[in-house]
Amino acid sequence: MTTIWQRIRGGRSRGLTCIELVELVTDYLEGNLDADERARVERHLAGCDACTAYIDQMRVTIAVVGRVDVDDIPDAMKAELMHAFRDWAPS
């Protein structure tokens, strides 16, 4: 089965459309694209305000996700672990 992704990567010679670009955004931001693919994305972005706005939204999304609280373990469990550590530690 051909995925959207493989189809996009197949046709390197022509320019990207917006619907194709949005599938490359993560690899673009993660630095996973090779030089050719990266250049294709940048060529498209240079002439497309809509995709530039989209990629900004994705950057904002990542930043906001980075501010979500982490899910801490309960205090009682932490206390138990510290207790276990003291029992275990060489005295």
Partner 1 sequence: MEETAGSYTAPAGQDEIVAALRAGDEATFAALVDELSPSMLRVALMFVPTRAAAEDVVQEAWLGVLAGIGRFEGRSSLKTWIFRILTNRAKTRGERERRTVPFSALAAADADGDEPAVDPDRFVADGHWRSAPDQWSSLPESRLLGKETLELVQTAIDGLPEMQRAVITLRDVQGWSSDDVRNVLDLSESNQRVLLHRARSKVRQALESYLQGEGT
Residue (35 or 64) nearer to partner 1, CB? 64
Q: Token digits for 30?
A: 């993660």
Residues 53-72 that bind partner 1 (CB under 8 A): 53-54, 56-58, 60-72
Single out the residue of 37, 30, 35, 32 nearest to residue 11, CA to CA. 37
Q: Does 39 bind partner 1 (CB under 8 A)?
A: no
51 binds partner 1 (CB under 8 A): yes
Structure tokens at 71: 């899910």
**Given 12, 39, 42, 82, the residue binding partner 1 (CB under 8 A):** 82
d(CA 74, CA 77): 5
Q: For 31, left (φ over 0), alpha (ψ -120 to 50), or beta?
A: left
Binding site for partner 1 (CB under 8 A): 3-5, 17-20, 22-23, 25-27, 30, 32, 49-51, 53-54, 56-58, 60-74, 77-78, 80-82, 84-86, 88-91
